[in-house]
Structure formats: C-alpha cells, structure tokens
Structure 1
Amino acid sequence: MLKLKTERLTIFPLDKYNLELAINNFNEMEQNLGLTVTDKNIGIREKNVYKIRLKGVENNIINYMWFTTWVIVKIDENRVIGAIMVKGYPNKDGEVIVGYAMQDDYKRKGYMFEALKALIQWIFLNPDVKCIIADTLKNNIPSQHLLQKIGMVFFYEDEECFWWKLEKDHNGQESKGDLDK
C-alpha cells in the first residue's frame, strides 16, 4: 500500500474496499486499517463526496490513488484526523484538482499543511502533472491562508469559491512558495 510519511502523519489513499467501508461505516474502515476506532463518522455531504470518489476508483482500479480519498492519520494517536480528495488523473492540460477536510479538533495545528505538502510532492512526481488546483469557499479565510502558505496563487473566482493554482516548474518541482517552511 502506498503511504506518505511526514514527521507527525501518515497519508494514504483508500482502495475500493476501504472507501466503501468509509461510506457505509467509517468505524469499520478504521478497524479494518488497524487504526484507533473513534466516535467520529462522516456526514451526508462527505458520504456523497466519497461516493463520487468511489465511481472514479471503480473505473480506474490500477490508478485508484488519483481518484480516491487519502486519509490523514496522526501517527502518535493512530487515528484519522482528516482527508484529501484527489479528483482525477491529470487532465489534458496537466491539471489535478484536490480538496480537503480536517476534523475540528485538529484544525490550525499545521496538520493539513504537512499533509498537503507531502501529497503535492507525490503528485508532482508524475510527469503528466503541470499544476495542482484547489478551491476555497469565499468565507473560509484559514483555508485561503493555508493555500497561500503552500504557494498556491489565486487565479479565478466564481459565485461561491476562490480558485488557487500551484504550477510545476521545468525541473518537476513546485514553482511557487516554499514547501519546506
């Protein structure tokens, strides 16, 4: 199983079986993965997002990691504290879209920065990737600050969201920001 490790976290993609477990009973997924079983569960909105990810995984079993939810596990507690969704293999323009969520008790402690940094480095290993895109609700100032800290640059606005982009430079690395901060 593909796993990314940081100082405090392990980040890994849910395969089809574990994604189905997460949708139907999050605690069973935790148990199946040998993680601390918590009183947390995912809400209806997250279940719908996970179901969208599941369709992508079912259609791309070999490259499922580009279509699934990646869970963020806090190593010292062996528990899921958040997730990052990768929303497909790079499109014809080399774009990969990500979305993310963190449990309230773990927000503003640097965990999402650490997790995104690791996943961005993995994503940019793929030669087909030219940039990573994320969106934030217009009123989600902490998320906007996080994306700026990662090095993303605002490039588009719709009625609901601001859209951000991080481009790969010609050496295959992030071209904006300092991911080692």
Structure 2
Amino acid sequence: MFYIQSERLKLIPLNLHHLSIYQQSDTLALELGLASVSIAMEPLFLNEFDDALQNFWIPSVEKNPQHYQWFTNWLMVLKEENVGIGGIGLTGLPNENQESEVGYGIGQQYRGKGYATEALVCISQWAFMHPKLHTIVAHTPVDLLHSQRVLQKAGFQSVRVENELLRWELKRNT
C-alpha cells in the first residue's frame, strides 16, 4: 500500500474501494490495519466531508484511477496510536495556472498538537515533486483562526480575500 510519512504521521491516499467503505469505519480500519478510524468533528465539517466524499472524491477517483492520489482524501494516521485522526487532500493535478488546492480536517481531540501542520508540510513536499506544480492554494473563512495558524506554520502566505474567504498560497522553492 502506497503512503507517505512524516515524523509522527502516515498519510494514506484512499483508493476507490477505501472511499466506498469510508463510512464503515471499523471495516476501513481493519482493511488498512489500523486500530481505529473514528474521527470526531463538528457537524459543519462532517457535512463538508460527506459532500466531498460523494460529489468530488469518489467521482474524481473513478475518472482518474492512475492519478487518484491527486483527487482523494489522504487519511492522517497517528503512528504512535495507529489511529486515523483526520484527512487531507488536493483538488487534482496542477491546473493551467500550475496550481492545486489543499484542504484538511482533523478530529477535535487531536487539534492543537501540530498534526495538521505536519500533514500539510508532508503532502506539500510530495505534491511539489510534480514538475508542473508551482503553487498550492488554500482557502479559509476569515474567522477560522486555528486553520489559518496551521497554514502560517506550514509556510503559506495570505494573499487576498476571495468571496469572503482568505486565499493562502505556498509557492515551490526554486
């Protein structure tokens, strides 16, 4: 099974089968060899996740099986406990502007420990291995300060407001 890792985390890109059983957390944990994949989040984030699962990840991975890592949720696994603690992912291969967008979420009990920043740095390093990727973009609500702090610690710069969201960018080191 393909994955990337940092000091404390393993990031596993979920394939189509994993996405199809994601909501059966015990089955997914068993298939991935994990102790647990039960991630507690606020209803707003759970709704966004469910929408992404049904309307982006599954159809995009079906259309792009050879590059599924660019279109899926990567499960954040805390190596020490062997549990899923959140997810992170990109919106696809670099577009015509040489950009891809990143999004992430982490279980409430694991926030404030640097895991989201660590996962963001890890996936950014992996993504920048693609020769056509120049910029990774993220968007946050103006009042979502903890997510903004994650982006700042990972080296992203706030560049402007778009549709009441802050646009953040991380450029490839050249």
With structure 2 as the length reference, what TM-score do the two structures score?
0.91
With structure 1 as the length reference, what TM-score do the two structures score?
0.87
1:1-181 paired onto structure 2 within 5 Å: 1-22=1-22, 24-37=23-36, 39-40=38-39, 43-51=46-54, 52-170=56-174
Q: Which amino acid in the other structure matches residue 120 of structure 1?
A: S
Unaligned regions of 5+ residues in structure 1, if any? 171-181
**Partner Cα separation in structure 1 for residue 111 and residue 125 of structure 2:** 22
**Partner Cα separation in structure 2 for residue 40 and residue 8 of structure 1:** 17
Q: Which amino acid in the other structure matches residue 166 of structure 2?
A: F
**Partner Cα separation in structure 2 for residue 2 and residue 110 of structure 1:** 23
1:50 partner SS:
helix
Preserved contact between residue 27 and residue 41 of structure 1 (Cα < 8 Å): no
**Partner Cα separation in structure 2 for residue 40 and residue 146 of structure 1:** 19
Aligned-residue Cα RMSD (Å) equals: 1.6
Higher helix share: 2
> RCO higher in 1 or 2 (8 Å CA, sep ≥ 6)?
2
1:157 partner SS:
strand
Unaligned regions of 5+ residues in structure 2, if any? none
Preserved contact between residue 39 and residue 106 of structure 2 (Cα < 8 Å): no
> Following TM superposition, by how much is the alpha carbon of 1:38 offset from its aligned partner in structure 2, in angstroms?
5.1
Q: Could you tell me the percent identity over the aligned residues? A: 32
Once the two structures are superposed, residues 34-85 of structure 1 have per-residue CA deviations (whole angstroms, 9 ceiling, x without a partner) of 1113554783431111121111100000000000000100011111001002
Preserved contact between residue 28 and residue 37 of structure 2 (Cα < 8 Å): no
> Following TM superposition, by how much is the alpha carbon of 1:157 offset from its aligned partner in structure 2, in angstroms?
1.1
Quick check: 85-94 or 30-39, which moved more?
30-39
**Partner Cα separation in structure 1 for residue 51 and residue 154 of structure 2:** 27
